[in-house]
């Protein structure tokens, strides 16, 4: 059977079935977004009848390695534009030299430049795309040591520190302000809560369910007004230009 099928509703061409796409681009914190209680799963549920949420998370990746994927994920002048993307890197870039994860280390100046290249490529791919930058979360250094020891690794110093990760978070925020992009300063927001170390981080780095919830509902920072499509709340786009019809 070809053409349209009517059963109280009429579903027509592939074009009519087209849905906005949100891409979540990042490291293992993004990769784990569809786990039980994950922030990507919650976002997909929120927009289940309006948009498709696509996770492109790569465990262990820093911004340098992520650039090798950028052309494939966000090709120039994409035939199917992406409505919104998050860029969530920095936790691995901030690994310390001379410690167990030093191969992931990226100098702070390069980190910021790599983020800028990602944004430019995304805008080149889909000029109307909303890009949201997310800083790395804070580091619970004791939690990292405890986790390493639970894995049978006898280390005396954590491979990351909260102070150093904060420097990378600041560069992420500075770039967002320079490019006038909305952002979530997760490094700062988590530390506003007493006991954040265990409340939001399960191994000193990756998010607990409460940490994922905080990320999902954290208000966006920046001077971007609601008229640009950004409301207070994580990726709460102004959906007036997005069809709200039911899709099946």
Which residues in 91-104 are b (16+ Cβ under 10 Å) and which e? Answer: bbbbbbeeebbeeb
What is the C-alpha to C-alpha distance for residues 185 and 48, in angstroms, rounded to an integer? 26
Beta bridge partners of 22: 53, 84
Task: Output the DSSP codes for 142-183.
Answer: HHHHHHHHHTT---SS-SS-HHHHHHHHHHHHHHHHHHT--E
Active-site residue flag, 28? yes
Sheet containing strand 84-88, edge to edge, reads 52-57, 21-26, 84-88, 130-134, 183-184
The single residue of 2, 8, 28, 213 carrying the catalytic annotation is 28
What is Dmax (Cα atoms) for the chain? 68
Contact by Cβ (8 Å): 224, 185: no
Q: Cα(111)–Cα(163) distance, rounded to whole angstroms? A: 16
Catalytic residues: 28
């Amino acid at each position: 059977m070809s053409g349209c099928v009517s059963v109280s509703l009429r579903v027509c061409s592939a074009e009519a079935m087209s849905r906005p796409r949100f891409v979540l681009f990042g490291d293992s914190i993004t990769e784990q977004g569809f786990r039980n209680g994950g922030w990507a799963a919650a976002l997909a549920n929120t927009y289940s009848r309006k948009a498709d949420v696509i996770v492109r998370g790569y465990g262990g990746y820093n911004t340098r390695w992520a650039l090798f994927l950028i052309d494939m994920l966000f090709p120039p002048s994409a035939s199917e534009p992406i409505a919104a993307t998050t860029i969530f890197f920095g936790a691995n870039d901030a690994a310390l030299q001379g410690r167990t994860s030093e191969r992931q280390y990226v100098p702070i100046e390069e980190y910021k430049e790599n983020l800028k290249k990602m944004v430019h490529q995304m805008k080149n791919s889909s000029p109307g795309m909303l890009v949201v930058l997310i800083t790395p979360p804070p580091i619970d250094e004791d939690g990292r040591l405890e986790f390493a020891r639970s894995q049978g690794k006898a280390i005396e110093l954590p491979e990351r520190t909260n102070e150093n990760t904060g420097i990378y978070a600041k560069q992420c925020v500075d770039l967002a302000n320079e490019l006038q992009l909305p952002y979530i300063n997760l490094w700062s927001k988590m530390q506003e809560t007493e006991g954040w170390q265990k409340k939001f981080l399960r191994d000193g780095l990756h998010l607990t369910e409460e940490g994922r919830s905080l990320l999902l509902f954290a208000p966006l920072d920046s001077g971007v007004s609601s008229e640009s499509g950004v409301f207070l709340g994580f990726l709460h786009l102004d959906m007036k230009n997005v069809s709200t019809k039911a899709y099946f």
